């Protein structure tokens, strides 16, 4: 059998098949699924409990979708862009392929925008030629500019201490990390991953 691939913008999908990261059209807006859980009550049919975040304004919503319900799943175009600079509340990115520049409101990225670095590549999701969301890299390297001194006799793995990074974000780091250390951090939740390889 030959497979035919058709590019579609919207897809009717079953309520049970929504996964985190999927974007759906719901209540006249675009929503990304943040968390999904499947519930099988004693009575009645199974349903999916889905936490949704509005791509435009970041509002959250908890919805139940029955397995029999059809939902409009939206296929977004992912386009790599390089971060150039911040201009007040606007973030300016450049398309890697066309070199066109695009302005994005800082609120679209939220707290993760403090992890943007010059020349960092992000994926901008486009729908109907409009940017609707930004996927940050899974990790980035930052320098510790402030933290407590190492306490002698304390085992390196036993406790974490607060540190401030060169983007002014506070993270918890292991005891052996000192001022000037470069560390790998996850932008999605500001968590420490490991000491950066020099």
Please check whether residue 149 is in contact with residue 183, taking contact to mean a CB–CB distance below 8 angstroms. no
What pLDDT does residue 12 have? Answer: 80
CA distance 86 to 142: 18
What pLDDT does residue 156 have? Answer: 52
Is the confidence at residue 7, as pLDDT, over 70?
A: no
105 vs 149, more confident: 105
Overall size of the chain counted in residues: 198
Q: pTM for the complete prediction?
A: 0.70
Percent of the chain with pLDDT over 90: 41
Is the confidence at residue 4, as pLDDT, over 50?
A: no
* Cα atoms in the Cβ-side hemisphere of radius 13 Å centred on 107: 7
What pLDDT does residue 8 have? Answer: 42
- How far is residue 26 from each of residues 79, 133, 189, measured CA to CA in Å? 24, 16, 27
pLDDT digits (tens, 9 = 90+) for 125-138: 888 888 888 889 99
End-to-end C-alpha distance for the chain, whole angstroms: 52
Residue 136 DSSP label: P
For residue 101, is it left (φ>0), alpha (ψ between -120 and 50) or beta? beta
Percent of the chain with pLDDT over 70: 89
pLDDT digits (tens, 9 = 90+) for 19-45: 877 888 888 888 888 888 888 888 878
Q: What angle do CA 129, 72, 127 make, to 5 degrees?
A: 10
Calculate mean pLDDT across residues 74-98.
92
Q: What are phi and psi of 158, to 5 degrees?
A: -70, -35
Q: Which residues contact 82 (CB under 8 A, 6 or more apart)?
A: 93, 94, 96, 119, 120, 121
CA distance 132 to 187: 19
């Amino acid at each position: 059998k030959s497979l035919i691939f058709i590019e579609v913008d919207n897809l009717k999908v079953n309520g049970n098949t929504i996964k985190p990261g999927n974007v759906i059209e719901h209540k006249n807006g675009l929503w990304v699924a943040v968390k999904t859980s499947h519930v099988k009550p004693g009575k009645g049919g199974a349903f999916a409990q889905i936490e949704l975040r509005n791509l435009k304004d970041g509002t959250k919503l908890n919805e139940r979708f029955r397995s029999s319900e059809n939902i409009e799943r939206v296929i977004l175009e992912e386009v790599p862009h390089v971060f150039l600079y911040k201009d007040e509340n606007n973030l300016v990115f450049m398309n890697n392929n066309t070199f066109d520049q695009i302005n994005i409101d800082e609120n679209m990225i939220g707290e993760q925008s403090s992890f943007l670095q010059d020349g960092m590549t992000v994926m901008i999701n486009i729908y109907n030629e409009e940017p609707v969301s930004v996927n940050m890299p899974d990790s980035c390297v930052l320098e510790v500019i402030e933290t407590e001194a190492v306490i002698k006799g304390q085992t390196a793995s036993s406790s974490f201490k607060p540190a401030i990074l060169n983007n002014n974000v506070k993270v918890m780091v292991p005891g052996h990390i000192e001022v000037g250390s470069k560390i790998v951090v996850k932008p999605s939740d500001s968590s420490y991953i490991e000491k950066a390889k020099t």
